[in-house]
Structure 1
Amino acid sequence: MSASMQPLNAAMYAVVFLLISRIELILGYDENPRTCPSPCTCFGDLLDCSRLKRLTNTLPPPPLHTTCDKQPLFLCVYRKLNNNEFEMVPDLGPHAANITTLILANNRITKISLEQLRPLQSLETLDLSNNSIVDIKADSFPALPLKNLIMNNNRISTLETGCFVNLSSTLQVLRLNRNRLSTIPAKIFQLPNLQHLELNRNRLRRVEGLTFHGLHALRSLKIQRNGISRLMDGAFWGLSNMEVLQLDYNNLTEVSKGWLYGLLTLQQLHLGHNAISRIRPDAWEFCQKLSELDISSNHLTRLEESSFVGLSLLDELHIGNNRVSFIADGAFRGLSHLQMLDLQNNEISWTIEDMNGPFSALDKLRKLFLQGNQIRSVTKKSFSGLDTLEHLDLSNNAIMSIQGNAFVQMKKLEELHLNTSSLLCDCQLKWFPLWVAEQTFLPYVNASCAHPLMLKGKSVFTVRQEDFVCDDFPKPQITVQPETQSAIKSTNVTFVCSAASSSDSPMTFAWKKDNEVLNDAEIHNQAHLRAQGGGQGRETEVTEYTTTLQLRSVEFTSEGKYQCVISNHFGSSYSTKAKLTVNSKLHNLLVLI
């Protein structure tokens, strides 16, 4: 390098050095150790002045070289000022425009205004939870790039029209839980980019149509624990991208397509802990993409053939903790993708004891929960069609009898949960302990005998094979089946059904028409003793019971399938179903001709 170039290079280095020094001075860098402004703490981009209980409406100016964990103050973009005594949004100084997150929860702020928030030109997240704000006025928010607004647990009772208009282009999350909102004005949320809205624990009782119109991008809406009893038609219309709707813990009484109108993309609907007693036949017409439906802890007593029509994409169905005792034949037809069905803690009995494959349409079902019902017997047809089932829970049922090979068709069963102390340990149960051990279900099964007396209280897994004998039959056995009949209109019809039992346990009788119990029917019952041959030439005395159903002056509406149910302490027996056909006198005359 020539001697003439050396002074030039030295001058260039000097200029660069002076420039860097000037930049460091402007940015607040120097060689002195940097400290966080007392009494706050700093970490990364966070300046934490929370829980000091001595900051009021203005912040003391920080020292010139205040830093945020080796960053200059204006790079401290996250500010935590929660748990202090602010009564308004404080002045955050000359660097307020750089703040992206501001946490002011647990203060004493009573209102927010455009002037207080205008300096926060980079603000993306604002947390004002646990303050004393009573309303959100139309001039509360300036135009900010706000994405997340959290105002839980205030005293907000009023939303003025246009209160969110200046946030319409950016807001994505709005949380207004635990406030005092009793009404929501229609179209108040003109927020086309909002994705998540939470209104839990307010005081809403009724949601009008078009309430949420304007929330075209909304994906989840939570309105739990409000006490809502009415959802008007079109209440959620306009939510064309909604995926999750949570309405748990309200006072809804029915599901109808009117208030579900427009929810074409809905995937999860949570309706647990309401007072729903009815699902209208066409309820799911507008939300057929549901994959999860929760109607647990309601007042349902019946599942009709139309209860779930249209839900062919459903994966999970929760109906536990209702009062379901009636499940129509075909109630689950069409649920071709269902993998989990929860029916625990209902009043189900004859669905399992007598129906022919009540779950046979669910050929993809993997988990079935039936614990806590009133099931007393399991038959070969109880679970027919469930070839893919892996988990079956029958615990907390007083199961007395399990028909031979009742579970054999479930080749993929991995867990069978069963606990009962009511089993009839006779020759028909001999197969059961061997099968349970062979399938390695022993950890999940706790089963003991109630009859005969010599085995009472013993685990079925400790009973010797030769002790499973059929010396008696305490559970009723049908001996006379009701017969199919044809009758002329306005004549009387009689159905007769008999059953015998070796037990002196009191009997109860019921007649059903098309699976519905006839509570007000004319029924006559009688009993008599008869001798029956026993083993080794012995005769035993059994009680035979006869129940008669009298139908007087039958009408065409009397047509149907009739069945008797005879029960005692050891279980129920179901007769075959006898069909009644009612003809007119003219029809009979034509037949004779």
Structure 2
Amino acid sequence: MFERLAVHQRLCCGVLYLLAAGVAFTSETRRPCPQSCRCNNELLVNCSHGQLSTVPDNLWKDAKILNLTHNNIRTLVHQQFQTLARLLELDLSDNLLAIVEVEAFLGLQSLLTLRLARNHLKIIPVGAFAGLPNLQLLDISSNEILVFVDFTFRDLAALQCIKAADNDLVFISHQAFTGLTSLHELHIDGCNLTAVPTEALTQLSVLRSLHFHRLGLNALPNYSFHHLVHLKELVISHCPWLETLSGNSLFGLNLTSLTIRHCNLSAVPYIPLHHLVYLIYLDLSFNPITYIHGNLLGDLLRLQELHLVGGSLLSIGIGAFRGLTHFKLLNVSRNLLTTLETGAFQSVDALKTLGLDNNPLACDCRLLWVVQRRQYLEFGGHSPTCTTSLQLESWHFLDFSEVELPGLLTCRQPQILNRKPQGVKVDQGHTVVFYCNAEGEPLPYISWLNPQLRPLSPTGRIRTLSNGSLEVRYAQPQDNGTYRCVASNAAGNDSLHVSLHVQAFPSSSKNPLRLKGWFALPSASPGVNGNQKHPFDVKTLLIAAAIGFLSFFSSVSVCFIFMFFWSKSKGKIKHTATIAYVPRSAVSNSNGGKGNYMETSRFTMKLI
């Protein structure tokens, strides 16, 4: 009985199979599939890897998806797809396309997605996208496009996303994006672009996301995006020459996400960022940034995530994230950090994710808070590792037990090594160096305070040196006082006092000479009361007079010699001169007489 039932079931299955095959055969007869294509149903026509050199002619008119990828199509002619009025998606990626004629896509009035990626297009003619009133996504990435001319996309009023990454753009015309009234997302890759196409971007009034890749910029100029008032996401990546952001480069933007990756920024751009009060996500990864300074990011009130992976971070200052009450994620993996102190955060209780792996961490009391909060923190699957502590080398944070923690993660208070009183007396104008060496775990930081208890900086006449010493150059009487060396680390501090007494220049008690009026010179090193005597020095005066006389005599001699040789060059010179004159008596006699005759006299002079 069971055998009869099994045979009956097999017969039923066979009949059903023949019926299905017949229906499929009838359907294929009614709708023949183009050669080298696979037609699974009325929606999909798959002609990929078909070695086609042209678009097939007998395509289904009711097709919704057409896949022509990985073929040898070189040209799209006028009205190439005019019969496919119901097509929603067209993919021509990975072909040899070099020419797209005007109105090549005319008739695709329902098309939503057009992909032309990884071809050989160098320019797109105006009108190439005519007849695509409903297109929403255009992918022309990985081509060889050099320029976007005016009105290239004017027929795409419904377009929402353009992907044009990995091209060779050198210029974007000011009117290139005219007509893109609905564009929300734009990806541009132009390794030869040396300026942000600010004028062209002004046409994109509703743009929400802008991605720039491989720009040839060394600085981001002011007001680069000031018309993009609706922009929320800005991504700038792989710009190896981009070193700085001008102070107003992001002016006018209300971003929620900013990414500047794989560039050459050596510092966090605090000034350009300070007005971005709506910023939530900030990524500065793969930049040679060395420090995150304290109290400079407080204006980013809504910041929740900061990524700085693969940089050159040496230190994150105390108060670096102070004021960021919503801060939840910090990823500083693959840097040069030796520690991360709890004082950097507004509140470590709000922190949810911390990336610290691949840093040369010193496991001491400064990282105790990380271990204590390990059950509340996520480390992105990579636990931090101790690398600079010999006894804990290669240990993962999660390997510590609660019993081991107090004895392993410890710090030792600083201790200044040479505590002998240092008192120095020098004459005015000398240079003095005070030494201050300390030990502790971690290595203490050395700072100096002046007699008014103000911190001294590494610049100026009185300055701190990199080895912890204090240098007083050209000591002056006003430098007198007690200076304090302070050695500090996470476990506490230690201090040492040193004193300095500067002896002013001695004044002459015999015949002091004070210079007054315009002869008075300001003292190079004024005393405490501002009065400085200038002693009379006879020797100096004689030397100055001798130098002046020699200079005058040399000048006169040179002039005389020059006149002598100049006169010789004029040829033979007369050595006598005859002068005629009228004596006074002759003039009187002539006035009394009737005649006009006056007697004249002459005399001769000898010229030297």
Secondary structure, in 3 states, of the residue corresponding to 1:221?
A: strand
Which residue of structure 2 aligns with residue 547 of structure 1?
A: 469
Contact persistence 2:256–2:278 (CA under 8 A) = yes
CA offset digits 1:423-442 (Å, max 9, x no partner) = 387xxx9xxxxxxxxxxxx9
1:396 to 348, 358, 363: 358
Which residue of structure 1 aligns with residue 386 of structure 2?
A: 420
Amino acid at match of 2:195: R
Which segments of 5 or more consecutive residues in structure 2 lack a partner in the other structure?
1-18, 421-428, 449-453, 477-483, 497-521, 532-608
Amino acid at match of 2:303: L
2:290 to 309, 325, 344: 325
Which residue of structure 2 aligns with residue 203 of structure 1?
A: 168
Relative distance call for 1:41 and 1:465 in structure 2 (3 A) is: farther
Tell me how far apart the structure 2 counterparts of residues 370 and 500 of structure 1 sit (CA, whole Å).
Answer: 30
Residues 25-174 of structure 1: matches in 2 within 5 Å? 33-36=22-25, 50=36, 76-92=42-58, 96-145=60-109, 146-167=111-132, 169-174=133-138
Amino acid at match of 1:315: I
1:501 matched to 2:439: yes
Tell me how far apart the structure 2 counterparts of residues 469 and 99 of structure 1 sit (CA, whole Å).
Answer: 72
Tell me how far apart the structure 2 counterparts of residues 250 and 516 of structure 1 sit (CA, whole Å).
Answer: 43
Tell me how far apart the structure 2 counterparts of residues 382 and 479 of structure 1 sit (CA, whole Å).
Answer: 33
TM-fit CA distance, 1:221 = 1.5
Tell me how far apart the structure 1 counterparts of residues 475 and 149 of structure 2 sit (CA, whole Å).
Answer: 58
Which residue of structure 2 aligns with residue 309 of structure 1?
A: 274
Amino acid at match of 1:320: S
Relative distance call for 1:477 and 1:310 in structure 2 (3 A) is: farther
Tell me how far apart the structure 1 counterparts of residues 389 and 332 of structure 2 sit (CA, whole Å).
Answer: 18
Tell me how far apart the structure 2 counterparts of residues 523 and 51 of structure 1 sit (CA, whole Å).
Answer: 80
Relative distance call for 1:592 and 1:149 in structure 2 (3 A) is: same
Identity %: 20
TM-fit CA distance, 1:397 = 2.8
Contact persistence 2:115–2:139 (CA under 8 A) = yes
TM-fit CA distance, 1:358 = 1.2
Count how many residue pairs are aligned between Structure 1 and Structure 2. Answer: 456
Which residue of structure 1 aligns with residue 153 of structure 2?
A: 189
Contact persistence 2:368–2:409 (CA under 8 A) = no
Secondary structure, in 3 states, of the residue corresponding to 1:117?
A: coil
Give the structure-2-normalised TM-score.
0.61
1:178 matched to 2:116: no
Contact persistence 2:304–2:326 (CA under 8 A) = yes
Contact persistence 1:378–1:406 (CA under 8 A) = no
TM-fit CA distance, 1:463 = 8.4
Tell me how far apart the structure 2 counterparts of residues 499 and 273 of structure 1 sit (CA, whole Å).
Answer: 45
Give the structure-1-normalised TM-score.
0.62
TM-fit CA distance, 1:91 = 1.8
Tell me how far apart the structure 2 counterparts of residues 546 and 322 of structure 1 sit (CA, whole Å).
Answer: 30
1:348 matched to 2:286: no
TM-fit CA distance, 1:293 = 1.6
Contact persistence 2:81–2:107 (CA under 8 A) = no
Relative distance call for 1:494 and 1:374 in structure 2 (3 A) is: farther
Contact persistence 2:270–2:296 (CA under 8 A) = yes
TM-fit CA distance, 1:90 = 2.3
CA offset digits 1:319-350 (Å, max 9, x no partner) = 12211124344431221111111123323234
Contact persistence 1:390–1:412 (CA under 8 A) = no
Which residue of structure 2 aligns with residue 363 of structure 1?
A: 325
Contact persistence 1:235–1:259 (CA under 8 A) = no
Tell me how far apart the structure 2 counterparts of residues 230 and 575 of structure 1 sit (CA, whole Å).
Answer: 54
Contact persistence 2:211–2:234 (CA under 8 A) = yes
Tell me how far apart the structure 2 counterparts of residues 424 and 114 of structure 1 sit (CA, whole Å).
Answer: 74
Query: Which is helix-richer, 1 or 2?
Result: 2
Relative distance call for 1:117 and 1:262 in structure 2 (3 A) is: same
Tell me how far apart the structure 2 counterparts of residues 564 and 175 of structure 1 sit (CA, whole Å).
Answer: 64
1:271 to 233, 236, 239: 236
Which residue of structure 2 aligns with residue 373 of structure 1?
A: 335
Tell me how far apart the structure 2 counterparts of residues 467 and 97 of structure 1 sit (CA, whole Å).
Answer: 73
Contact persistence 1:225–1:249 (CA under 8 A) = yes
Secondary structure, in 3 states, of the residue corresponding to 1:133?
A: coil
TM-fit CA distance, 1:552 = 7.4
Residues 426-445 of structure 1: matches in 2 within 5 Å? 444-445=397-398
Tell me how far apart the structure 2 counterparts of residues 242 and 575 of structure 1 sit (CA, whole Å).
Answer: 59
